[in-house]
Amino acid sequence: MQRDYVGYGRNVPRIRWPGDARIAVSLVVNYEEGSEYSLLDGDAHHETNNEVPSPIPPGQRDLFNESFFEYGSRVGVWRLLDIFDRRGVKSTFYCCALALERNPELAREIVARGHEPCGHGYRWAEAHLMSRDEERQDIEKTIESMTGATGQRPLGWFTRYGPSVHTRELVAAEGGFLYDSIATNDDLPYYVTANGRPWLVLPYSFETNDARFWRGGLVSTGDFYEYLKDSFDCLYAEGETHPKMMSVGLHCRITGRPARSQAVARFIEYAQDFPGVWFARRIDIARHWLENYPPPGK
């Protein structure tokens, strides 16, 4: 996990997306409901990552908070899936394995509708607090659970709460993954060295991400739509000569709500009005990059 302040710099590659698209739009749904901190699962405190600060002592159940998360799995995820179906786009689901275990119908539906299940840890595990062996076991447990729940092995990885210094090495060494997204530092995929060999990174974004509704910076659905639109416009314009990639991060309990879901629908509709826009799952982007832009020496 060496730092790189240079990246592509002035030498941004002139890539070609399928169909000569000017931009690859990656919609990502974080499916986590049921994997958050919970006293019912033996945790010492309830989940505090919520839009409204909890007044409940950590050692007592916060029933409103629990209900807030349940909305995402009961209603929000289905609303997002239906929006994707209506607009004919496919997405990647960052899946916490325990969340899928608790909603087996959805686990099967994600794959049945053509979306990609991507590894997101067994729970909302804090990898930076784990030992190397504990993290390796968590990755293995996630793979086994997700494969059983969806019928499809995850080929990508994104760590909840941020990676540890061991995460990339462990994911690359596991042998079955093709990429990770544990970076937010570029608008294009790139290679790093992990375990002495080239490894593909597909950067993610916390900026074009609905989590800003609870972290600050977004107030209205119009704010979210305009921010996505402006980001798209910039990258699309640059894509005339240097095609780029845009990640959009969504959460079922946030933009799965009625009003916010319409910002997602409006953005997809807006982007689809332009020629040369490729809505792609992250695994599709990874495979295209590995096939057409292999690391030096390959």
At residue 278 the predicted structure's pLDDT band, cuts being 50, 70 and 90, is very high
Split at pLDDT 50, 70, 90, the class of 160 is confident
Residue type, 269: E
Its pTM surpasses 0.85: yes
Are 276 and 232 in contact by the 8 Å Cβ rule? The answer is no
197-242 pLDDT, tens digit each: 999 999 999 999 998 887 766 678 999 999 999 999 999 999 999 9
Question: Tokens 């790189």 sit at which residue?
Answer: 4
Q: What's the pLDDT score for residue 47?
A: 85
Q: What percent of the chain has pLDDT over 90?
A: 83
Looking at residue 212, its pLDDT comes to 85
Q: What is the DSSP letter of 293?
A: S
C-alpha span between 158 and 15 (Å, rounded):
25
Chain-centre distance for alpha carbon 44: 27
19-39: pLDDT as tens digits = 999 999 999 999 999 999 898
| pLDDT per residue as tens digits for the range 126-151 | 889 999 999 999 999 999 999 999 99
Helix (H, G, I), strand (E, B) or coil at 263: helix
Residues 57-76 have pLDDT tens digits of 989 999 988 999 999 999 99
* Helix spans in the chain (H): 63-71, 77-87, 97-101, 104-112, 132-150, 167-174, 212-215, 221-238, 258-272, 282-292
Give the pLDDT band (50/70/90) at residue 125: confident
Residues listed for the chain: 298
Q: Look-up: residue for tokens 């704010």?
A: 223
- Sketch out the chain's domains with CATH numbers: 19-292 (3.20.20.370)
**What span, in angstroms and rounded, lies between the C-alpha atoms of 232 and 187?**
12
